[in-house]
Structure 1
């Protein structure tokens, strides 16, 4: 289970491991190829070297890569996850697509429209040249599913406050449709719309039992979320018999 989250949303993913081969190909690069910077599982820091105001609420952010010959390492059509803090100091994670190509070396750029009440917009608005942004690579689930030699199955519980808070819903639904036997998703909302067939409230022990495989030696639990959520999930998982070796917290 993987809680990929901000306070806007929490993701709980259980992974039934057939082959742990996630992303290996990304890193088997020859010495002649540019160094790939993204890590699909861990956030890395990138320095803001230039901020250009394009309009009253749009700016271009240029971030330096570790070396002049480094590339970001983002496959075409995928997003990076940026982590920042809102005006209340709460952690926010939101996906963005760079405007630079992966063939561009030494830097990457984001063009961001900043909304008055946007939680991640606040972070970008406050950024100054010399500050650092935490960035993570392509989603683990997609890397697993698009690897033909990987038999891993993914069960995802994705919790949010409202329907509009669900990030990348179309992409996740597409994965569930295209990989029926390998990717299952269950949405949970605190404030669901009038017509809703997902879970309601907080992620419970019963939801985990119903939508994730039982504890076993080939099960890996990945979770990420605010501290109270992670604490609650750890309690549920312990009670259900998932050992500490089966659990990993981002």
Structure 2
């Protein structure tokens, strides 16, 4: 919108009466320009107002998590899915469809329930979901065995006799789970940086923090700890800025016992340059000429594999 410059020249060489007349002419021309360009002016004002409103009120604020580190809060079970013969996936609803759990990567929660004798029990668990999953969080729980063999060695104590898994095994959709957290572990800040707490002898809380850069993460977790490795791995892979490479060696009794296998295989397919997974089973199949089978049998015996764990065909 342009106003003629002749008014500036007239004002410099005019009397008071003339200036009053010039002012009237200026107002008239200004009104005419506004009338002729009102659409453009309106659009300009709307855009400007929107920008100001967005700058002042539209700044994204970090979402507040639903957890409390000092008291248990209850979350309702809304979905239960069977994964294997002894493992289920539990989905718990958060207060609103846009709520986040508020659990930093590398940390865990504590769940409270009752064992088979009705006694209260509290155990740590790590959700397989991240705060990018809104409205819910998920746990994968494996039913416990009283006795199992690992490379020929009998282990009589497994997950403290499965007292908490007993509670999960009886849960139905609609039941409530008391949860407390987040609790300290490592804090994976991503892009290769891990914050490791240094524990104080005078307190359960860590006194200081150490930071380490780990461009490569090698993870040989036992089956019950796969959830923490899964949580960190997923956070790394879904962050396009994070160039950390993850190598997972995952050992189980049989192929049917491998937890989250479909998810891990999907990671390997989707992120071939950043994630490698190697599955190991305790029961070995041997097939070949007699000389090779005899040599392999000797090597496996030295590694602790009993004859019951080897099958030749």
Scaled by the length of structure 1, the TM-score of the pair is 0.45
Higher helix share: 2
Q: For the pair shown, which has the larger CA radius of gyration, 1 or 2?
A: 2
Asked which structure has the greater RCO (Cα within 8 Å, sep 6+), the reply is 1
TM-score by length of 2: 0.37
